[in-house]
Amino acid sequence: MTPAVIATPAKESPLLFEGLTWREFKAVEQLLDRPGYRLSFLDGVLEILRMPGEAHETVKKRIAALLELYLLVAGFDFTPTGSMTLESEARAVKREADESYKLAPGRVRPDLAIEVVFTSGGINKLEAYKRLSIPEVWFWEDGVLEVYHLRSENNALRYEKITNSEEVKGIDLDLLLRCINMVNHVEAIKTFQQALQK
């Protein structure tokens, strides 16, 4: 019997406003500091996203619970940094991941950012994370998990899509995804935990 999977609601598009300076963005950010909205900025484009609600939060928290269980069992000295604000005026970027993690002590920025995508369009999230020098980014969208690792080639940075995490070494991404997509949260955690104990 195949377990039922999480249903995903219809996707919404964020509001985009182009041609803003960093100073204008920071002024608008102060005015729009309200629960339920997330603001991002890249190259003069302001993105305003209304948070999608329960389905988004369920997937986000499921990923966090499973990943943190793995990190504990695997012996990582990690710090969950949640949706901490990452920004750089010099690089014209501001972004908040849905979840993020420092995977060793003494890190200034997270080693891993996780995005749960229930929207379409918007700013280029990988470009934003590249400017923030985040080594690895995971995207969960429509029941699929994609992993990108930051590479440096010829003094240029780019993300490469990979099949195994280089930051969270040893994690079985297929098992993780199966458990993320299960309907029942407790059953997902138990299934993942039992697999880790084998």
Beta carbons of 59 and 180 less than 8 angstroms apart: yes
The per-residue pLDDT for range 161-186, each reduced to its tens digit, is 999 999 999 999 999 999 999 999 99
Query: What are all long-range contacts of 145-154, with beta carbons under 8 Å and residues at least 24 apart?
Result: 145/173, 145/176, 145/177, 145/180, 147/173
Q: State the pLDDT at residue 149.
A: 98
Percentage of the chain lying above the pLDDT 90 cut: 75
Q: State the pLDDT at residue 1.
A: 37
Q: State the pLDDT at residue 2.
A: 45
CATH of domain 15-197: 3.90.1570.10
Mean per-residue pLDDT, 49-69: 90
Q: The pTM is what?
A: 0.89
